[in-house]
Chain A
Amino acid sequence: MTNSIDEIAGADFILAIGTNTTETHPVIALQVKKAVRQGAKLAVIDPRVTKLAELADYHLQLNPGTDCALLNGLANVIIAEELWDKDFVAHRTEDFASFRQWVSGYTPQYVERVTGIPADVIYKLAREYAGAENAAILYTMGLTQHISGTANVHAVANLAMLCGQVGKKHSGVNPLRGQNNVQGACDMGALPDVLTGYQKVTSDEVRAKFARAWKVDTLPASAGLTVGEMMAGTQKGCIKAMYIVGENPVLSDANAGDVKEALQKLDFLVVQDIFLTETARLADVVLPAASFAEKEGTFTNTERRVQKVRKAIAPMGRARADWEIICLLAGAMGYTMNYQSPAEIMDEIASLTPSYGGISHARLEKGSLQWPCPNKDHPGTPVLHKEKFVRGRGKFHRAEYIPPQELPDQEYPLLLCTGRRLYHYHTGTMTLRTGALEKYYPGEYLDVNPIDARKWKLTPGCRVRVISRRGEVELVVRITDTIPPGMVFTSFHFPEVPINNLTNPAQDPIAKIPELKVCSVRLELL
């Protein structure tokens, strides 16, 4: 997030794209609801009628996967009607001329044809967004899990820059991240192309700095493989061994059937987790890890806030904290990692990572810090890009609309979208074992629009087989008009409904994000 969660309530206009906030980020949704109570306008762009959409002034039920066209259409109107922030564009951005040029093709009439959103709504929304004093954009996976994910995000950024809605309070471009420490994992360099704080592995200088600190001669210089590429590499036999910590790709990844097959081909698989997950079952060695309640450390939330995690109880049985296990393993492989505590590790992180430079456990005991926090006197940074962007001027990226890779056809006439439910989390590893959540929401449904239900002769509670080109699952039907006709929806929380066996692994070429939000399926009544 460029801005902070508590700023959302102060926005005059909120544009929520592809985010079912009340279910996936319930506490962030409180801020949105508060803003609405205080009179803010809310526009929700989502094919589904979510709770958030029910609160909205504008609900744009666009054709799935056409977000980019819609966002460009808004920019088109804002430029055509001279509503853009000329000062901001002139002083803070670059490549506006070309942006103006290519976005001119996205006329509301064209966008209406692509998205199904009437041109007059596009005009109205564009004027409201551009006219707002402070407008915040929120988005999640509904925007990014497409083969055009990167373009979609660029289109969002373009829109915010065009109207000067970034670098000040109550505004900005705010991706709401789905997992407790997904931000931190990225910050810490658990990515193939960057070290901590997004320092490029390809930079000789960066590598030299880390090699020195880590007391090694060299570090690998070329970017590594992403998850999807790893799985493909495994299939091809290039990857021989994997060490998977706290992940369950057998359920979570697109075209999960292939993932399972790939992992089975490995010569050696180590899985480190708190439960014997579907992925762990395939492992040669399973290492028992401590849960969050059993260790010290820090998490970084979606607004870049680094907060202290505290140990409440001892690890279960002989389980150990992940950091201790890694130290053991490194030692066994001849590399000494001799940390007394996570606080010590954080000191090393701070010494190597400019944006975490001022962060220490001692400081965090007194209160959290939002990075960038370059030194020990720095109070942290609630709002990013205030004076300038990281790269200097904000660049208008070319973000052309590309339709989803696989759309319904005669053979697979329905569009499958996947997502999350309020009562569950990710692959259910935790939420299906709480003694509470799984009692209240014990099984998954396939949400189907009443029109489709009539068409396929479905009744509430009937069972269907959902089949895609890649796999099939069985599900109980729930008929609801919160889903548009032609779409079916379910979650990936339940192991007995491995919906990712069906999803499309086609990826965005840059971010390598799979197109989990759109694939085509057919139904068979059981």
Chain B
Amino acid sequence: MSTITLTINGQQVTVPAGSTILKAAEKLGVFIPTLCHHPQLTAVASCRICVVEVTFKGRKKLVPACMTGAQDGMEVETESAAVVESRRTILELLLANHPQDCLTCGQNGDCRLQDYAFRYNVPGAGFSGERHAYKIEDDNPFIIRDMNKCILCGRCVRMCAEIQGDGVIDFAHRGFNTKISTAMDLPLSKSECVFCGNCAAVCPVGALQEKGLRSSARTWEVKKVKTICPYCGTGCSIELNVKDGRVVGVTSCDGEVNGPALCVKGRFGYGFIHHPDRLTTPLIKKNGRFVEASWEETISLVAEKLTGIKNDHGPDALAVLSSARCTNEENYLLQKFTRAVLGTNNIDHCARL
């Protein structure tokens, strides 16, 4: 494969032909901010926060690093005066039309706008003037949609079209009134939206927030544990977000099966884990009513009963139903128990349902 050598902030770097400046910078560990860019989505170069100053063939200009191809002999400055002025101005412009309610925003701590404002020392809106006053959409149990916080990076639009394949949302209107909208600007709940939440997962700010997760924990309070979704047989990777020993939400990570995508059940169906109906103690039915019991008492009762029936009626009077919900290790142990301990092959599970 042919390669390209360019200079970024005075350092030479060689990358495969066809790489963007952003890729080349990543290779050097040079930071370039991005908002609209997402590795799994088509590049659009619309937010312009990633502009860098390029000198090439004697001409100097600002170009978006996320889509501009690296060229042999290119000289790139990622933090020149012009670059910094542009980034600061773009941040000021975004903040001029963005609620400054970071104190209560669920995205606080995991917000690119906030991060970059800090990095480029933009204390707030540099410009006064009109701000949007859209009604916050909060009529579904999954996603809070606050278009006042939207920076129109279009990641959600591309996610819905390119990964989810549904195209429920798109840009609507023009100029300052441009807005991400469903057909006829209906709420998501009245649209074709299936609430996979994949849009929320890629929103770099707080415009699309997972309702449960963002209302129950600050972003820095959660520990993320990567595991596998407990629902259908697809096997999507999920991250359980844990705070104080409780699962407060599910986020997507780059799963081997699912990439960044999840469905509504995988992303929003975690509430059962802490549901008050959960069984927390062994129960023994006495006189038709369940009574709480210790593990010792319960296990010896079960062992005694099963042994008794096995002795009286033979092992084939026993039957075991295993679970397609349990782990491999558990299914293995249960069939081992059935065959080696109970002495029967009467084991099955709901594979046919």
Direct contact of A and B (CB under 8 A): yes
Interface residues of A (CB under 8 A from B): 5-6, 22, 24-30, 33-34, 37, 141, 144-145, 176-193, 195-196, 201, 210-211, 214, 216, 219-220, 222-227, 230, 233-234, 238-247, 249, 252-253, 267-268, 270, 273-276, 280, 283-289, 291-303, 305-314, 316-323, 325-330, 332-335, 337, 339, 342, 345-346, 348-349, 367-368, 422-426, 429-431, 433-437, 439-440, 511-514, 516
Residue from the list A180, A216, A240 in contact with B318, Cβ < 8 A: A240
Given known pairs A243-B318, A245-B320, the reply for A267 and B309 (CB within 8 Å) is: yes
Report the 4 A-B pairs with minimum CB-CB distance, sorted nearest first: A317-B280, A301-B235, A297-B327, A246-B323
Given known pairs A241-B317, A349-B329, the reply for A191 and B351 (CB within 8 Å) is: yes
Residue from the list B228, B317, B322 in contact with A299, Cβ < 8 A: B228
Report Cα–Cα, A268/B226, bound state, in Å.
39
Given known pairs A301-B234, A326-B333, A329-B302, the reply for A289 and B321 (CB within 8 Å) is: no
A363 CB to closest chain B CB, in angstroms? 14
Report Cα–Cα, A492/B266, bound state, in Å.
19
Residue from the list A181, A224, A274, A431 in contact with B265, Cβ < 8 A: A431
Give B305-345 as 1s and 0s: 1 = Cβ < 8 Å from A's Cβ atoms: 11101001101111111111111111111111101110111
Tell me the B263-302 residues at the A interface (CB within 8 Å): 263-266, 268-275, 277-285, 290, 295, 298-302
Q: Does B261 contact A (CB under 8 A)?
A: yes
Chain A residues with Cβ below 8 Å from B187 are: none
Interface centre among A145, A253, A426 (most CB of B within 10 A): A426
| Main DSSP-derived SS at the B contact region | mixed
Task: Give the number of A-B contacts (CB < 8 Å).
Answer: 460
A282 CB to closest chain B CB, in angstroms? 9
Residue from the list A196, A316, A425 in contact with B274, Cβ < 8 A: A316
Report Cα–Cα, A29/B234, bound state, in Å.
10
Residue from the list A187, A252, A305, A423 in contact with B235, Cβ < 8 A: A305
Query: Could you write out 11 A-B pairs with CB less than 8 Å apart?
Result: A27-B236, A30-B165, A224-B348, A225-B346, A246-B325, A285-B298, A286-B282, A312-B227, A314-B245, A316-B278, A435-B275
Chain A residues with Cβ below 8 Å from B269 are: 425, 430-431, 434, 436-437
Residue from the list A28, A225, A327, A433 in contact with B271, Cβ < 8 A: A433
Interface centre among B242, B246, B316 (most CB of A within 10 A): B316
Chain A residues with Cβ below 8 Å from B282 are: 285-288, 318
* A180 and B325 contacting across the interface, CB-CB below 8 Å: yes
Q: Does B229 contact A (CB under 8 A)?
A: yes
Chain B residues with Cβ below 8 Å from A316 are: 274, 278-280
Residue from the list A292, A318, A434, A435 in contact with B281, Cβ < 8 A: A318
Q: Does B303 contact A (CB under 8 A)?
A: yes
Closest residue of chain B to A233, judged by CB? Answer: B319
Chain B residues with Cβ below 8 Å from A319 are: 278-281
* B233 and A179 contacting across the interface, CB-CB below 8 Å: yes
Q: Does B353 contact A (CB under 8 A)?
A: yes
* A27 and B258 contacting across the interface, CB-CB below 8 Å: yes
Residue from the list A188, A193, A311, A323 in contact with B345, Cβ < 8 A: A193
* A37 and B165 contacting across the interface, CB-CB below 8 Å: yes
* B350 and A186 contacting across the interface, CB-CB below 8 Å: no
Given known pairs A245-B322, A440-B142, the reply for A333 and B316 (CB within 8 Å) is: no
Report Cα–Cα, A42/B316, bound state, in Å.
48
* B234 and A28 contacting across the interface, CB-CB below 8 Å: yes
Chain B residues with Cβ below 8 Å from A513 are: 352
* B258 and A179 contacting across the interface, CB-CB below 8 Å: no
Residue from the list B225, B256, B327 in contact with A368, Cβ < 8 A: B256
* B231 and A227 contacting across the interface, CB-CB below 8 Å: no
Residue from the list A227, A286, A301, A309 in contact with B279, Cβ < 8 A: A286
Q: Does B232 contact A (CB under 8 A)?
A: yes
Report Cα–Cα, A345/B212, bound state, in Å.
36
* B234 and A27 contacting across the interface, CB-CB below 8 Å: yes
Q: Does B51 contact A (CB under 8 A)?
A: no
Given known pairs A27-B263, A178-B353, A293-B247, the reply for A224 and B321 (CB within 8 Å) is: no
Closest residue of chain A to B305, judged by CB? Answer: A268
* A318 and B236 contacting across the interface, CB-CB below 8 Å: no
Given known pairs A188-B331, A333-B306, the reply for A275 and B279 (CB within 8 Å) is: yes
Q: Does B133 contact A (CB under 8 A)?
A: no
